[in-house]
Amino acid sequence: MNRIFFRFFLLVMLSITAATFVIYFAMSRLFGDPLDDIARRQAAAQIFLIEQYVDEAPLDEWLVRLNRVREVSDTRFDLVTLAAARAALPAASLRALERGEVVLDIDNKAYYRRVDLTGERYIGSEDEVIHAQDLPIDVNLALKMEAVRYVIVALALLVPVALWSRSHWQGLQKLSRVADEFGAGKLSARARMPRSASIYPLAERIDHMADRIEELLVSQKNLLHSVSHELRTPIARLEFALELLDAKTGDPAQRKRIAAMEGDVRELNDLVNELLSMARLGSEQALQRDTVDVAALLDSTAAALPPGAPALSVDAGADAGTVEADPRLLARALSNLLRNAQKYAAATIRLSAAREAGRLIIAVEDDGPGIPEEERERIFEPFYRLDRSRDRATGGFGLGLAIARKAVLLHGGNLTVEQSALGGARFTLTLPA
């Protein structure tokens, strides 16, 4: 948020600076160089002496008055040839000199002006030029004055803009905090801004949106609990009825059919449990963080697996150490990954942990058929399975990997899959330092 307003003020400052240059060049183009005008005002007294005192003298007294001005003025007045003046001035100023105008030489604090155009002052005066030097011209001071003017204008613009932006910035900061809290699972977070706030309409709409989302999530949660309760009750009755039926019958064919129905009921019960697990992983509020010993977590998770044909090796590096995490959720994620590897591994599963750049990297690898590259993101979607048959040989509902990734994301980490050195799939669980 601070970056947005920093860019805004930077844009305003650059706009003011650009406007300053545009104004300068526009004024120069339309009305002449402003520096020339400033210097002309500073040298006005010396120009006045020549134009209003010396030039007003009778023709035979013109040089006398020029000498008097030389005696009383700090400015040095010399007569130079027209050729010398032309050589000293830039080409842009020569036309003004030829017209008999005062031409300023700001850099040298001087000006040039022809004595006259027709030679009436004295013999040869049409070929001579008055060269006034040591004029009281201080362009630096003038530039400082102009800079101060522009600074005052800039401040006059920036102060109201800053006051106007401050209220927006504070409101947006509050909205940002509310969004963070709401995203973290605090569904009661609201902006609740007064009507006088500059972004009240936006805040009001966000609050209405949050109210609606909270209502929907609460309704979804209540519905899920209600449905799970209503599903589990008949499931429990079916299990009890099937056990009674199995105890009463002695027909092997009947027992086989009952066993198949019991398997279906267990599968339905597992599906309900998986759906509830997905629903509970709704926010970081579900986390109960604690210091978890990584090596112990890997050993306990591996020991809890059902016995299977693939050989499982556990390698917790010496630098694995501990991690701040919810031990239950992290163990569930690892268990889901290992169970998935058990389904598809041919003979070997490898579980390892190490530190890389301060992050904890836990990898589950197998020597199974692997996962096609185009399917590697889709397998984390709920109910998506590479094996579409859904038979008991492969089992599962396509929720295990989705639950694993969601649990890891709640910890601020990530779960990815790639090709394993064993030939199958390598699931990499990354947790921040």
Average pLDDT over residues 263-278: 74
Tokens of 185: 């699972």
Query: Above pLDDT 70, what percent of the chain?
Result: 91
pLDDT of residue 130: 94
Q: Does the pLDDT at position 128 exceed 90?
A: yes
CA distances from 7 to 24, 137, 160, 164, 319 (A): 26, 40, 17, 15, 43
Judged against a pLDDT cut of 90, whether residue 366 lies above it is answered with: yes
In 3D, which of 262, 271, 264, 228 has the Cα closest to residue 397? 271
Rounded Cα distance, 205 and 209, in Å: 6
pLDDT in tens, 316-327: 877 888 899 988
Task: pLDDT band for 403, please (50, 70, 90 cuts).
Answer: confident
Please tell me the predicted confidence (pLDDT) of residue 225. 72
Confidence of residue 390 (pLDDT cuts 50, 70, 90): very low
Domain locations in the chain? 2-140, 200-280, 285-431
pLDDT band per the 50, 70, 90 thresholds, residue 9? confident
Highest mean pLDDT among 30-44, 106-120, 375-389: 106-120
Tokens of 327: 């031990």
What CATH code is assigned to 200-280?
1.10.287.130
Mean pLDDT, all residues of the chain:
83
Single-letter code of the amino acid located at 352: S
Give me the pLDDT at residue 104, please. Answer: 92
Q: Please answer whether residues 408 and 431 qualify as being in contact, where contact means their C-beta atoms are separated by less than 8 angstroms.
A: yes
Tokens for 103, please give them: 């031409």
Mean pLDDT of 315-340: 88
Report, at the CATH architecture level, how domain 285-431 is classified: 2-Layer Sandwich (3.30)
DSSP bridge partners of 351: 314, 364
Distance CA 245, CA 228 (A): 25
**Predicted pLDDT of residue 281:** 66
Instruction: Using alpha carbons, list the distances in angstroms from residue 242 to 252, 361, 391.
Output: 15, 46, 21
Q: What is the pLDDT of residue 279?
A: 66
SS3 assignment, position 416: strand
For the ranges 133-137, 227-231, 368-372, the lowest mean pLDDT is seen at 227-231
What does pTM read for this prediction?
Answer: 0.50
pLDDT of residue 389: 43
Percent of the chain with pLDDT over 90: 25
pLDDT of res. 392: 46
Name the residue among 195, 191, 149 with its Cα closest to residue 173: 191
